[in-house]
Amino acid sequence: MKIIKTSFCIKHLVIVALFILPKTIFSQSVSISQDPQIEQLLTEKRNINSSITLSDRWKIQIFTGDNENSRKVLTEFKKEIKTIDCTIIFHTPSYKVWVGNFKTRIEAERNLIEIKKKYPNAFLIKPNK
């Protein structure tokens, strides 16, 4: 009986030696060095993504017309109100100037009141709806 118990213990030791010991003996440590410009690029990517039009955002349309006049209106708006993003969108056959990227309708309506003082034909839109 002692022989069976001894061989059983030897089997366990062999299993332990085969599976556990190599991991502890041959384990490696890896260090990664990152270029500091990667973080700067990630920050810029986050800023760009935040300005992309999302279907759940509200915008204000301040102009509809031809390309030349829409560019004039866009430039004029950028000079007057620097804190609100604006862009030109082309929907056949006209160009539209959209401003803002508001999360809620209430936020968009508050800005619409101020924008209507200069652009009386401005109205609220929700793109892709």
CATH number of the CATH domain containing 109: 3.30.70.1070
Residue pLDDT, tens place only, 10-68: 666 666 666 665 555 566 778 888 888 888 888 887 777 666 555 678 999 999 999 99
Any domain includes 41: no
pLDDT of amino acid 42 = 84
pLDDT of amino acid 87 = 93
Any domain includes 1: no
Any domain includes 103: yes
pLDDT of amino acid 19 = 65
Among 99, 11, 102, CA closest to 63? 99
In the chain, how many domains are there? 1
Any domain includes 100: yes
Any domain includes 44: no
pLDDT of amino acid 70 = 95
pLDDT of amino acid 58 = 94
Any domain includes 118: yes
Distances (CA, A) of 20 to 17, 24, 67, 73, 89: 6, 7, 71, 72, 63
According to DSSP, the residues that pair with 123 across neighbouring strands are 61
Any domain includes 96: yes
Structural domain that includes position 118:
54-125
pTM of the predicted protein model: 0.56
Instruction: Say how far apart CA 112 and CA 70 lie, in whole Å.
Output: 19
Any domain includes 120: yes
Mean pLDDT of 113-127: 94
Q: If you search the block for the tokens 């279907």, which residue do you land on?
A: 55
Residue pLDDT, tens place only, 76-116: 999 999 899 999 999 889 999 999 999 999 999 999 999 99
